[in-house]
Amino acid sequence: MRPVILSDPLPPLFEELARGRFDVQPLDSHATDIRDDVTGIVTYGHPAINGKVLDRFPKLRVVSNHGVGVDHIDVAAATQRGIPVGNTPGCLDAATADMTMALMLAVARNVVIGDRFARGPEFTHHDPSLLIGQEVSGSTLGIIGLGRIGTEVARRAKGFDMRIVYHNRNRRPDLEKQFGLEFRTLGDLLRESDFVTLNCPLTPETTGLIGHEQLKQMKPTGILINMARGPVVRTDDLCEALSSRQIAAAALDVTDPEPLPRDHPLLKLDNLVIAPHLGSASGKTRRRMLEMTIQNLDAGLLAQELPWRVR
């Protein structure tokens, strides 16, 4: 008999890699029925997995997260119930750092606006005065969150001859030496940086980290890139700062809420680039994420130590 696994929607590759070993059924985190046939949960789309949800499944053995961020999972509640939680650290660092640089370049050099203009009826001759952007090379980058992904962003930024300052919960002297980084308080980083990238996890400390007061400290020419989680930035405050041109522009791979309502004022701004949460969306990375997700799932179902357990 195949183990019953609950999951929010996953790509067809999951079934291919799992080779039909699981009976995968939809996960509804708002349901209240008790089910003693469920032994595993796979989650990716960030439904809330809290104590109330876990208590619906008395025979649950594992929660396997298809991704790194587990802010939607109450890990402490799972641990109290003896249910291990796994994630996929390390495999998506490069892809997410690539996307950070892609958004930085896109918003700085008006790639999205330029694409629309080049396709439109107004583009009938070249005008060298149009869509003058900001230089990325040689500018100052402020990285908030110098974990695995932030480190990969720094590695790429060095290739653009950027001066790099960073803010992190703990100083990283090893990386300061390796990449020539300079540690800053959050306020000093915001004041000095031409580009600010958010590469931190969502925690109680980082929720709402960037709001009205922080945006006021940025340069009028400053550009904010959020590759972390939507709630790290206060959406209404960012909308106001962009609308008033308090900062020059922003690029978001994540939003709060996600997705934004289709009539949200942010979607009408021309100094904002938004991607639909594409940080890890490369074929190589997504395949490796699924492989790790399944390995964690298999281990949990066999009551073995998870290869990548969240502590």
Is residue 58 reached through a cis peptide bond, with omega within 30 degrees of 0 on the bond before it?
no
- CA diameter of the chain: 68
| Bridging pattern class, strands 163-167 and 62-65 | unpaired
What confidence tens digit (pLDDT) does each residue in 256-276 have? 999 999 999 999 999 999 999
**Interval 127-155 mean pLDDT:** 97
Within the chain, strands assigned E span 4-7, 23-26, 38-43, 62-65, 85-86, 140-144, 163-167, 182-183, 195-198, 223-226, 249-252, 272-274
What is the reported pLDDT for 47? Answer: 86
What is the reported pLDDT for 46? Answer: 74
Active-site annotation, residues: 229, 258, 277
**Domains of the chain and CATH, by start:** 4-91+283-301 (3.40.50.720), 93-274 (3.40.50.720)
Q: At what angle do helices 93-108 and 283-301 cross, to 10 degrees?
A: 150
* 98/94 Cα distance (integer angstroms): 6
Helix (H) or strand (E) holding 112: helix 111-119
What confidence tens digit (pLDDT) does each residue in 56-105 have? 999 999 999 999 999 999 999 999 999 999 999 999 999 999 999 999 99
> Which DSSP string corresponds to 35-66?
-SSEEEEEE-S---B-HHHHTT-TT--EEEES
**Interval 216-224 mean pLDDT:** 98
pLDDT category at 50 given cuts 50, 70, 90 is very high
What is the rounded end-to-end Cα distance, in angstroms, of the chain?
A: 31
What is the reported pLDDT for 156? Answer: 98
Full-model pTM: 0.93
